[in-house]
Amino acid sequence: MIKKLALERILHKQGFGTRKMCRILIVNGQVTVNGMVCDDPDANFSLEDLHYTVNGEAWQYQANSYLMMHKPAHYECTHKTQFHPTIYTLLPQPLVERGVQCIGRLDEDTTGLIIITDDGQFIHKISSPKHHVPKVYAVTCKHAVSADQLSALLAGVKLLDQEETIAALAVTQISDYVLHMTLAEGKYHQVKRMIAAISNRVEALKRIQIGALHLPEDLAPGAWCWLSPAQCALLSTDPSQS
Ligand code: URA
């Protein structure tokens, strides 16, 4: 059976404020559904393929939201600002109201691919260490990277507060100073600490891939876009199999 809901409840579920606020938006004629103004908050609509606008902005009903962002530098991956604005200020308010969270955090000065969703099970699936979703970072180092340093990253290096060594899954040298480094885990400051362990230093860090999903070249820093179901599936796909 196709599920139907009153427009007021739909807008509330999609993050447009309290039931009362949603009712006011509708009664004021600020909402269209499938191309027509609807000023009846109690009108029922099927949730399937439901397109609506609020104050002229187009939306599609989504039980859960999945999106990717190109995180810019000088933004924090937290909901509460500490020293810098948060990445959530780059999203439309209704999405933030829905309680979206990023999957794994990037440092304030790290840029690149970050996944944001309000689906708790999906967050668990992608971030759980059990699933070993590999992540690829473009690392610009302060000093030219030697062959010995490259080998050490692949063989395993010892981080300051860790007992066992930790190795990159893969490292590709792009230029004297730039590496593409693939990691299976996401320990705190892991790339910076691994590069420090080979007596070098990270000058710039950008995440360019999670699983088999690449950061699109045309997604500018600060921009975001919806993820299709196929793109969501790429996140848990082994890149060597894709
Ligand atoms: N490793 C780091 O050191 N910083 C990041 O932001 C991500 C991985």
Domain topology for 134-210: Alpha-Beta Plaits (3.30.70)
pLDDT of residue 242: 60
pLDDT for 214 beyond 70: yes
Question: Shortest CA distance to 67 belongs to which of 10, 122, 13, 130?
Answer: 122
Q: Tell how far the Cα of 182 is from the centroid of ligand 1, in angstroms.
A: 12
Question: Shortest CA distance to 84 belongs to which of 105, 103, 53?
Answer: 105
**Ligand 1: which of 70, 75, 105, 107 to mutate, judged by most atoms within 8 Å of the beta carbon?**
107
- State how far the alpha carbon of 197 is from the alpha carbons of 67, 142, 159, 167, 217, in Å: 34, 14, 6, 11, 31
pLDDT of residue 240: 72
What are the tens digits of pLDDT across the range 162-193?
788 999 999 999 999 999 999 998 888 999 99
Active-site residue numbers? 107
Right CATH for 4-60 from 3.40.309.10, 1.20.1530.20, 3.40.190.10, 3.10.290.10: 3.10.290.10
- How sure is the predictor about 15, in pLDDT bands with cuts at 50, 70 and 90? very high
- Give, as one character, the DSSP assignment of residue 112: E
In this chain, the answer to whether the domains covering 66-129+212-241 and 134-210 adopt an identical fold is yes
- Compute the average pLDDT of residues 79-96: 93
**Ligand 1: which of 133, 189, 200 to mutate, judged by most atoms within 8 Å of the beta carbon?**
189
Residue owning tokens 């427009």: 7
Q: Tell how far the Cα of 110 is from the centroid of ligand 1, in angstroms.
A: 7
Q: Tell how far the Cα of 192 is from the centroid of ligand 1, in angstroms.
A: 6
Q: Which atom of ligand 1 is nearest to the CA of 110?
A: 6
CB 59 within 8 A of CB 14: yes
**Ligand 1: which of 87, 192, 202, 208 to mutate, judged by most atoms within 8 Å of the beta carbon?**
192
Question: Which residues form ligand 1's pocket by a CB distance below 6 Å?
Answer: 106-107, 110, 189-192, 205
Give me the percent of the chain exceeding a pLDDT of 90. 85
Q: Tell how far the Cα of 105 is from the centroid of ligand 1, in angstroms.
A: 8
pLDDT for 2 beyond 80: no
- How sure is the predictor about 1, in pLDDT bands with cuts at 50, 70 and 90? low
User: pLDDT averaged over the chain?
Assistant: 94
The domain limits of the chain are 4-60, 66-129+212-241, 134-210
What is 66-129+212-241's CATH number?
Answer: 3.30.70.580
What are the tens digits of pLDDT across the range 17-34?
999 999 999 999 999 999
Using CA atoms, how far apart are residues 156 and 127, in angstroms rounded to an integer?
22
pTM for the structure as a whole: 0.92
Q: Which atom of ligand 1 is nearest to the CA of 109?
A: 6
- How sure is the predictor about 132, in pLDDT bands with cuts at 50, 70 and 90? confident
